[in-house]
Structure 1
Amino acid sequence: MNTLGPVSAGPVFDLAETLTRFLTGLVLCFLVLLVCAEALLRGGFNYSLGFAEELTGYCVVLLTFLGAALALRHGSLFRVHFLFDALSPTAKTWIARVFVLIALVICVTLAWKTKDLMLSSLSRGKFAPTVLRTPLWIPQMVMPAGFLVIGFFLVEQLLLTFRSSNESN
């Protein structure tokens, strides 16, 4: 739970979390089914789907981004609680603001650079050297999208620091 005050900065952020949770659950269910099917087929019938490893890799990357965004929203990402809890409310607010601003710069930079990588793969028509021959821009699209989701919830955290400082005055 976020210790800086309100958990939500508004209904737009709540809707974004609901959609993120739904997508995370969907991807996780698909991942579990795929891994179980692959294990059953390999163990029981000595047959492999061939594409399972590729798709599970894409799912794990997507789950990492979505999970990080949700953990960030609930204040449980990148925090050493025993040190953070020892600070005064004003210090907590300013440290949170500095963290969010630095993290936003990093997220925007990484989203921009990974978008460039994705567009480069798209324009050059590159494909993964795998069974599915997936166009590389499709899995590479996960990275800028993931950084944008994290950035969206960073903006919410920044808004919450201003709300919590106004409520303490």
Structure 2
Amino acid sequence: MDALTAILDRLARASGAAAAASLAAIALIIGAQIVARLLGQQIPAADDFAGWAMAASAFLALPYALRNGDHIRVTLIAQMLPKSWHRGLDIVATAIGVGLACWGAWSVVRFVLDSWEFDEVAQGMLAVPLWIPQLSMAVGMVLFALMMADRLLRVSLGLPLSEKADGDASRTE
């Protein structure tokens, strides 16, 4: 289990780094577009690339955020139940989350494959094959589904999630 944990932790960190790089790319693209416009020029498809980077940052951040316990959890129901039911509730909620994450991953992967099969290209100034920027969405969702499945396994076996993901008392949930 330790080897799997190490691999998933590395994947989550890499995904988080890619999400951060995507946010930096947005800043660079927007900054370059501002400078270009001040000089009376325009960067072709800058809006498209900024939008794709925004999608990449959102999807690639999902696995990292889950691995670090940064997703918002609603504890209203758990607060109304006896403490002895909390673990069972966590297992059920995580199982539902796994199902939704797997369905989302399957749907996004299918979407990207459709774009690739039908040779879809961006309608903007540059004819970029759409599967290329969409690939980050598929990678993020597949990794998120893997992280959710690992969480379900850990919660079911009573294993620790991570230092941060176990939740601390000072964290608002």
Q: Does TM, scored on the shorter chain, surpass 0.5?
A: yes
Q: Indicate if the aligned counterparts of 1:93 and 1:165 stay in contact, CA closer than 8 A.
A: no
Cα 1:139–1:34 change in 2 (3 A) is: same
* Pick aligned residue for 1:13 from 8, 33, 56: 8
* Equivalent residue runs for 1:148-167 within 5 Å: 148-164=142-158
Equivalent position SS for 1:133? coil
1:79 equivalenced with 2:73 (yes/no): yes
Residue in 1 aligned with 2:56?
Answer: 62
Cα shift readout 1:100-149 (whole Å, capped 9, x = no counterpart): 21122222222222222222222222211111211122223233222111
C-alpha distance in 2 between matches for 1:46 and 1:99? 54
The CA deviation string for residues 5-47 of structure 1, in whole angstroms up to 9 with x for no partner, is xxxx7212221122122212222222211111112222x2132
Q: Percent identity?
A: 22
Q: Counterpart amino acid of 2:74?
A: V
- Provide closer, same or farther for how the CA distance between residues 72 and 12 of structure 1 changes in structure 2, counting only shifts above 3 A: same
SS of match in other structure, 2:158 = helix
Q: How does 1:16-55 map to 2 (within 5 A)?
A: 16-42=11-37, 44-55=38-49
Q: Does the 8 A contact of 2:61 with 2:140 survive in 1?
A: no
Query: How far apart are 1:82 and its partner, in Å?
Result: 6.1
Size of the alignment, in residue pairs? 157
Q: Distance in 2 between matches of 1:143 and 1:59?
A: 10
**Contact 1:34 1:52 (C-alpha < 8 Å) held by counterparts:** yes
Q: Whole-Å Cα distance in 2 between the matches of residues 87 and 73 of structure 1?
A: 26
How many angstroms does 1:88 deviate by?
5.1
Q: RMSD in angstroms over aligned alpha carbons?
A: 2.4
The residue aligned with 2:127 is 133
Q: Alpha carbons of 1:163 and 1:62: their partners in 2 closer, same or farther (altered >3 Å)?
A: same
Bigger relative CO (Cα 8 Å, ≥ 6 apart): 1
Match of 2:86 among 88, 92, 113: 92
* Structure 2: unaligned runs, 5 residues or longer: 161-173
1:108 aligns with 2:102: yes
